[in-house]
């Protein structure tokens, strides 16, 4: 994609490499997807800083490092079905479109889902499906998924998401209380419905709201 931000994307890639991101497919996606189109116009000058930015409705576009690391943890090869919980701006959704065969994304805020869909459609990314709904429930009709990524903090690992993982599938999710969480990699066992979880590093996300997220928020 040719625009005036190519150099900024290259600098962001260098920043991510300096922080330990090694997956070349992830880095190519960051170098390609125009993050400035996914942030509000007044913040475009910060679009390629390695920081989270507000996108309205009390939500944020996450720090690029955290998104790149989450994508890297899923170990995508381009052949997977991926579920994203929390479309938000749609930026991570767009990154995933370059890393997987098909991407299904759920957003509970209708305005954000609509805007993300418009930007993604304008970019010609045609392997993405976005739904407005409760992401904590997952999207069972399209399961099982080879990988699931959750872009909101959950007090615990939502059982519906584990159930919708294919055997051997990976789930990346921030787990913990509202004020601080641990990015966690969950791997479903190949031989049964059990799973193991591995803490990765400390993060801070907006809360996952819904039936299997933080209670009483719908």
The pLDDT value recorded for residue 215 is 73
pLDDT in tens, 12-66: 999 999 999 999 999 999 999 999 999 999 999 999 999 999 999 999 999 999 9
pLDDT in tens, 150-161: 999 999 999 999
Dihedral Cα 34, 40, 45, 50, nearest 10 deg: -70
The pLDDT value recorded for residue 121 is 97
Q: What does pTM read for this prediction?
A: 0.95
Q: Are strands 102-107 and 128-132 parallel, antiparallel or unpaired?
A: parallel
Closest CA to 15 of 58, 53, 41, 48: 48
CA distances from 199 to 16, 72, 100, 138, 163 (A): 20, 15, 24, 22, 20
How far, in Å, CA of 45 to CA of 161, rounded? 36
Are 96 and 72 in contact by the 8 Å Cβ rule? The answer is: no
| Set 10, 62, 89, 97: catalytic member | 62
The pLDDT value recorded for residue 37 is 97
pLDDT in tens, 100-144: 999 999 999 999 999 999 999 999 999 999 999 999 999 999 999
- pLDDT exceeds 50 at position 218: no
Residues in the chain: 218
Tokens found for residue 102: 């098909």
The pLDDT value recorded for residue 194 is 87
Q: What value does the mean pLDDT take over residues 157-168? A: 96
Q: 3-class DSSP state for residue 51?
A: coil
Q: Which CATH number fits domain 64-203: 3.40.640.10, 3.40.50.300, 3.40.50.150, 3.20.20.370?
A: 3.40.50.150
The pLDDT value recorded for residue 193 is 75
Return the beta strands (E) in 86-212 as ranges. 102-107, 128-132, 145-150, 165-175, 181-188, 195-203
Q: 3-class DSSP state for residue 171?
A: strand
The pLDDT value recorded for residue 213 is 94
Neighbour tally for 110: CB within 10 Å: 11
How far, in Å, CA of 218 to CA of 215, rounded? 8
Q: What value does the mean pLDDT take over residues 81-103? A: 98
Residues with Cβ within 8 Å of 24's Cβ and at least 6 positions away in sequence, in order, are none
The pLDDT value recorded for residue 1 is 53
Q: Are strands 165-175 and 145-150 parallel, antiparallel or unpaired?
A: parallel
The answer to whether residue 70 is catalytic is: no
pLDDT in tens, 58-70: 999 999 999 999 9
Are 157 and 197 in contact by the 8 Å Cβ rule? The answer is: yes
């Amino acid at each position: 994609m040719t625009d005036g931000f190519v150099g900024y994307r290259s600098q962001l890639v260098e920043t991510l490499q300096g922080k330990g991101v090694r997956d070349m497919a992830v880095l190519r996606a960051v170098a390609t997807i125009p993050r400035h189109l996914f942030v509000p116009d007044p913040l475009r000058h910060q679009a390629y800083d390695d920081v989270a930015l507000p996108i309205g409705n009390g939500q944020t576009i996450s720090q690029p490092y955290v998104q790149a690391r989450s994508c890297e943890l899923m170990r995508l090869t381009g052949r997977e079905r991926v579920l994203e919980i929390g479309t938000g701006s749609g930026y991570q959704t767009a990154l995933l479109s370059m890393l997987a065969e098909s991407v299904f994304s759920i957003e509970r805020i209708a305005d954000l889902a609509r805007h993300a869909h418009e930007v993604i459609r304008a970019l010609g990314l045609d392997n993405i499906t976005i739904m407005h709904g409760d992401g904590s429930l997952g999207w069972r009709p399209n399961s099982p998924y080879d990988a699931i990524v959750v872009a909101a903090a959950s007090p615990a690992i939502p059982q519906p998401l584990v159930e919708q993982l294919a055997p051997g599938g990976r789930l990346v999710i921030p787990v913990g209380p509202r004020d601080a969480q641990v990015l966690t990699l969950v791997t479903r066992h190949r031989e049964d419905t059990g799973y193991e979880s591995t803490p990765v590093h400390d993060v801070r996300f907006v809360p996952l709201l819904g039936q299997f997220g933080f209670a009483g928020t719908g």
